[in-house]
Amino acid sequence: MRLPLIANGYRSFVAILFAALALSIAGTGFLVFHYQRAAIGRDAVERLSAVAELRSQQLVEWMKERRINAQMQARRFFLSAASEAWAARGALDPATAARFKSEYRSLGANYSYRAVTLLDRNGRPFLSTHELPVVNGEETRVVAKALQSGEVVVSDFHPSVDASVREWEIDVAAPIYSRVRDGPPIGVLLIDIDPEQSLHPLIESWPAPSGSAETLLVERRGDNVVYLTDLRKRKNAQFNLLLPLDQQRLIAAMAVTGQSGFAQGVDYSGAEVLAVVRQISGTPWTLVAKVDSDEVYASVRTLAAVTALVTGILIALSALITITWMRTHRELEGQFIGFAGAADQVFWISEVSAEHAEKLSYINAAFERIWGFPAAEVYRNANSRLDAVHPDDRGRVAWAYANWVRGSPGLDYDVSYRIIRPDGEMRWIADRGFVLESRRGAISRVAGIAADISAAKRAEQLLLQANTELEARVTARTAELEKSRHELRELTAMQDSMQEEQRKRIARELHDELAQKLTVAKLQLKAIAAALPQGQSELILKTQDVNLLLTDTMRAAGQIAADLRSPVYTELGFAAAVLDVVDDFSRRTRIACEFSMHPEDLILEPRVEAALYRMIQESLTNVARHAQATEVVVSLFGAESGGIVLEVCDNGKGMPDTGHSDARTFGLVGMRERAAILGGRMSISSAPGQGTTIKIVIPRAGGEADGPEAAGAALL
Amino acid sequence: MNPESISTFPVRIRVVLADDHKMILAALRSLLAKESDIEVVGDAADGHALLELAGRTAPDVAVVDIGMPSMNGIEATQQLLAVHPALKVIALSAYSDRRFVMEMLDAGARGYLVKASAGDELPRAIRAIMQGRTYLCPEVAGTLVEAARGKARGEPTAQLSRRERDVVALLAEGHSSLVIGERLHIAGSTVEVHRRNIMRKLNLHSIAELTKYAIREGLTSP
């Protein structure tokens, strides 16, 4: 399976990049090579031209020299005299002959003259430095021409008469004139020059070290070209080697057919050469300076080889890098596939086309385990994945996916859904996608991880269920608690009113029974004392003691009764009793205390009155104990809602923290509880140095305490 | 027993007793029976019975207990004196609380005795008030003196207490709570509490309305 972590486009891009790189390296190599080759070629041609120019000039100089030398010799007197003598007498005096031979032999040695011969006006030789030669062929033609024209004539190369030695020679014929009278030439001086000695060294030498460079002379002979000099690469070729002119690329052929200047072609041995051709004026010869291409371009070849090598190395290197890179990716792909194959989650990669058609390009083995059908099906039809989604979730999943791949801003693909496996089992999937590639702002490749979260979902549902149950249980418990709290409060309230009744009853008993009976006892004691005879002073004193005792007892009983239940409250009612409390408080503590009640005829339930009375007592006790106040105002008024409001404001030091559980707070708890029993609530506003205001709101009978604070206060 | 009283009062003082305790009534009768110038003409167990008895017997003096069922002594005294203004009432109570004393004197009683001192002082008290004097037993007199020494405080006259009337006057003059507090030697916060209570009591909602009230009631110094 191919894992398209790298897109196809990306792969071809790498291939193109590589090819371009290789081409540019090769192209650069070729250009360098070409330039170098051209430069070296130009250089070689320049050198060849220079040599050719030099050689042709030397050649012409040499010819000129030979002509002038021959002309000067031919004008010598003793030669004219000899020729006239030979013409007149047909014989020579031996001294002249000896002089000729000795002078021209030494001259010949200096000038490489093989032989010097005198000929008569008919062209017959009569005196020579050597044996009289046989004049034939070329010599005859030259001599005849000299006699005819009266000018110095130079022959072409020709073989010597003596065929056995096969030597080549050049003859110079100079006409000899009479010394005494004008007229046609009377003889000819013929100089036989050995070119091997004088001319060829001039031509065949090369001014610079070279393996193949040479200069040579060629001449046309009919339809052939003949080589006039020794050749470097072929022995005995001089005068013997004839090559046909129809060889197109043959440099010598080009030369003898009139071409001159630079030429490229092959030499006699068939090797590629560079050559420069010069026609030698005044002769039928053509000079060729040439060098093998191989030699010229040897350095370029090295360069070419180096360039090719470097190019090759570079190409190989880039190929290696590319291959390594590809392999690394393949390895990464391999690792990913291994990793993905071992994963519990489903990894998927999809291509998104412009039409937002999905094409799945990869999905790992976990898919088959979780979805329960082969991945091949998804490769064939990308929609089969969506088809497996629970119908209730399908729309949502499709919507989320479509919007995501369309690139809607702020949307991502992170969904949980249910799937129905072919075997009917339902599973929960958490699927999250991320963008792999975007082209020109459009999402082109996406990938995602889908996990089977069924177990977690089950656990979640169980937890939810447990939570709900717990919640219900807590609610039930709370209700129970509330109920029992309510019951407790009712009980407390009942206990409170029972206690109140008890107090009232005991107080009443003390007052009605004890006090009255003591009063009666006292009155009767008085009667007894009055009835006692005058002499019983001791008894009289006793009755006085008993009387005092009774008075004390009555006072104590009254005090006890008053402590249990204020007689003012009993006889004069709530308002009077509160006033009494307030006055008592002022007197006892020296704290100015005001009681303000509105309306005056506030009618309250007895149990509310009793509770308020107790709360006023408790709050004043608190003020006396803790507040360090100098003034207290107790206000009691009907609230707008119909309830009763009790406010106790002092100007004391205030409470630092209303949540503090000191003795004072403990006193407040009792008040709070009393307020709660009546369905009311208590609030405290205080700040350090600002005094304290305790406010108790009690709803009208049958009503509920307003606001949620009531419940909170009740729970305290 | 007392020859002087006999000579001074040829006619015996007619007395009615009101107490819900039969034993007390009996003891008082026997106590007063020894006084030659005092005659108990009847007794009643509660306030209503007392009113009926007084109408029937036209007594000079009524000795009234405060703690009685159905109608207490204070109320009974008020009603009794409304009908018989010449009648003289002595309160005879187990209580010596200041409030009872004040209430009783307010209702028109001329004397107040605690029951503990009845044996020694009731006859004397009856004779004293018959002479037009007021008689208080020493214990009650002590309570009253103590109350008089205490800080002066106003009874809730009309709707406002005296303190509240002071505050209204100063508020109407445009003083701040702080200044009022300084003038009245109370805390500013207490003044605020008074102001709130006053507004509530008078059903007023602004200082302007409070000022009008103060002027109308003559609480301000013009």
**pLDDT single digits (tens) B58-100:** 999 999 998 888 888 999 999 999 999 999 999 998 888 888 8
The third-level CATH classification (topology) of the domain covering A345-452 is Beta-Lactamase (3.30.450)
Region B25-45 average pLDDT: 91
User: Number of A:B CB contacts under 8 A?
Assistant: 138
Tokens of A2: 């191919």
Determine contact, residues A633/B194, Cβ cutoff 8 Å. Answer: yes
Question: Can you say how many angstroms the Cα of residue A389 is from the centroid of all Cα atoms in its chain?
Answer: 38
A511 contacts in B (CB within 8 Å)? 67, 94
Q: Which of A331-340, A615-624, A704-713 is the least confident region? A: A704-713
User: How would DSSP label each residue in A77-140?
Assistant: HHHHHHHHHHHHHS---HHHHHHHHHHHHHHHHHHTEEEEEEEETTS-EEEESSSPPPP-HHHH
Tokens of A209: 């070290």
pLDDT in the model for residue A300: 75
Q: Check whether A666 has a pLDDT greater than 70.
A: no
The pLDDT mean for chain B works out to: 84
pLDDT in the model for residue B185: 83
- Point out which residues pair with A568 in neighbouring strands: none
Q: How far is A691 from chain B (nearest CA, A)?
A: 8
Q: Could you read off the pLDDT of A387-397 as tens digits, one per residue?
A: 899 999 999 99
User: How would DSSP label each residue in B151-196?
Assistant: PP-----SSS-HHHHHHHHHHHTT--HHHHHHHHTS-HHHHHHHHH
In Å, how far are A64, A332, A368, A440, A444 from A447, measured between CA atoms? 97, 16, 18, 18, 10
Instruction: Decide which of A160 and B18 is more confident.
Output: B18
Q: Could you read off the pLDDT of A467-506 as tens digits, one per residue?
A: 999 999 999 999 999 888 888 888 888 888 888 888 888 8
10 Å Cβ neighbour count for A703?
Answer: 13
Confidence of residue A357 (pLDDT cuts 50, 70, 90): low
Report d(CA B201, CA B157) in Å as an integer: 13
A583 contacts in B (CB within 8 Å)? 98, 150, 153
B117 contacts in A (CB within 8 Å)? 551
Return the sign of the alpha-carbon dihedral for residues A615, A620, A621, A627: positive
Task: Give the closest of A558, A651, A691 to B95, CB-based.
Answer: A558
Q: Report CB contact under 8 Å: B197, A523.
A: no
Q: Report CB contact under 8 Å: A519, B161.
A: no
Long-range CB contacts (within 8 A, 24+) of B145-150: B146/A587, B146/B98, B147/B98, B147/B102, B150/A583, B150/A586, B150/A587
Instruction: Kindly report whether the global pTM for this prediction surpasses the value 0.95.
Output: no
Residues 6+ apart with CB under 8 A from A450: A345, A346, A348, A370, A429, A430, A431, A432
Task: Give the closest of B67, B115, B193 to A635, CB-based.
Answer: B193
Instruction: Decide which of A666 and A645 is more confident.
Output: A645
Q: Could you read off the pLDDT of B77-88 as tens digits, one per residue?
A: 999 999 999 999
Q: Check whether A273 has a pLDDT greater than 70.
A: yes
Domains along chain B with CATH numbers: 3-149 (3.40.50.2300), 162-216 (1.10.10.10)
CATH code, residues A573-715: 3.30.565.10
Which of A230-239, A252-261, A324-333, A546-555 has maximum average pLDDT? A546-555
Confidence of residue A8 (pLDDT cuts 50, 70, 90): low
Percent of chain B with pLDDT over 70: 88
Q: Report CB contact under 8 Å: A586, B27.
A: no
At how many degrees (to 10) do helices B138-149 and B98-107 cross? Answer: 100
Strands A153-154 and A187-193 turn out to be: unpaired
Q: Which of A331-345, A529-543, B32-46, B207-221 is the least confident region? A: B207-221
**Which architecture does CATH list for A75-198?**
2-Layer Sandwich (3.30)
Q: Check whether A150 has a pLDDT greater than 50.
A: yes
Q: Report CB contact under 8 Å: A523, B190.
A: no
* 3 state SS of B41: strand
Task: Give the closest of B95, B186, B200 to A637, CB-based.
Answer: B200
In Å, how far are A512, A563, A581 from A504, measured between CA atoms? 12, 10, 17
pLDDT in the model for residue A688: 80
The pLDDT mean for chain A works out to: 82
Instruction: Decide which of A658 and A127 is more confident.
Output: A127
Q: How far is B24 from chain A (nearest CA, A)?
A: 6
pLDDT in the model for residue B110: 93
Determine contact, residues A243/A265, Cβ cutoff 8 Å. Answer: no
CATH code, residues A200-298: 3.30.450.20
Q: Report CB contact under 8 Å: B151, A586.
A: yes
Tokens of B193: 């509490």
Hey, of B193, B195, B202, B205, which one would you mutate to test binding to chain A, going by the most A CBs within 10 A of its CB?
B193
Which of A401-405, A710-714, B37-41, B157-161 has maximum average pLDDT? B37-41
Q: Report CB contact under 8 Å: A637, B146.
A: no
B187 contacts in A (CB within 8 Å)? 630-631, 651, 691
pLDDT in the model for residue A297: 81
User: Cis ω on the peptide bond leading into residue A195 (within 30° of 0)?
Assistant: no
Hey, of A508, A523, A525, which one would you mutate to test binding to chain B, going by the most B CBs within 10 A of its CB?
A523
Instruction: Decide which of A661 and A216 is more confident.
Output: A216
Q: Report CB contact under 8 Å: A596, B197.
A: yes
Tokens of A391: 């119908």
Could you give the ipTM of this predicted complex?
Answer: 0.70
Q: Could you read off the pLDDT of B103-132 as tens digits, one per residue?
A: 899 899 999 999 888 888 899 999 999 999
Q: How far is B38 from chain A (nearest CA, A)?
A: 16
Determine contact, residues B210/B198, Cβ cutoff 8 Å. Answer: yes
pLDDT in the model for residue A707: 41
Q: Report CB contact under 8 Å: A520, B26.
A: yes
Q: Which of A160-164, A415-419, A630-634 is the least confident region? A: A160-164
Hey, of B25, B114, B115, which one would you mutate to test binding to chain A, going by the most A CBs within 10 A of its CB?
B115
Strands A187-193 and A158-159 turn out to be: unpaired
pLDDT in the model for residue B167: 87
Q: How far is A490 from chain B (nearest CA, A)?
A: 31
Q: Check whether A450 has a pLDDT greater than 80.
A: yes
Residue type at position B40? V
Q: Report CB contact under 8 Å: A554, B94.
A: yes
Report d(CA B52, CA B19) in Å as an integer: 14
Q: Check whether B7 has a pLDDT greater than 70.
A: no
Domains A345-452 and A573-715 share a fold: no
pLDDT in the model for residue A686: 83
Q: Report CB contact under 8 Å: A592, B94.
A: no
Q: Report CB contact under 8 Å: B28, A570.
A: no
Angle at A119 (CA atoms; ends A118, A124), nearest 5 degrees: 140
Question: DSSP label at A250?
Answer: B
Q: How far is B151 from chain A (nearest CA, A)?
A: 8
Q: Report CB contact under 8 Å: A571, B34.
A: no
The phi and psi torsions of A637 (rounded to 5 degrees) equal -150, 160
Determine contact, residues A567/A511, Cβ cutoff 8 Å. Answer: yes
Report d(CA A20, CA A150) in Å as an integer: 78
pLDDT in the model for residue A712: 38
Q: Could you read off the pLDDT of A86-135 as tens digits, one per residue?
A: 888 887 888 888 888 888 888 888 877 888 888 888 888 888 887 777 77
Hey, of B46, B200, B204, B205, which one would you mutate to test binding to chain A, going by the most A CBs within 10 A of its CB?
B200
A581 contacts in B (CB within 8 Å)? none
* Domain spans in chain A, listed from the N-terminal domain onward: 75-198, 200-298, 345-452, 454-565, 573-715
B30 contacts in A (CB within 8 Å)? 523-524, 527
Q: Check whether B154 has a pLDDT greater than 50.
A: no
Q: Report CB contact under 8 Å: B94, A572.
A: no
Q: Report CB contact under 8 Å: B23, A520.
A: yes
Percent of chain B with pLDDT over 90: 34
Task: Give the closest of B118, B153, B156 to A523, CB-based.
Answer: B118
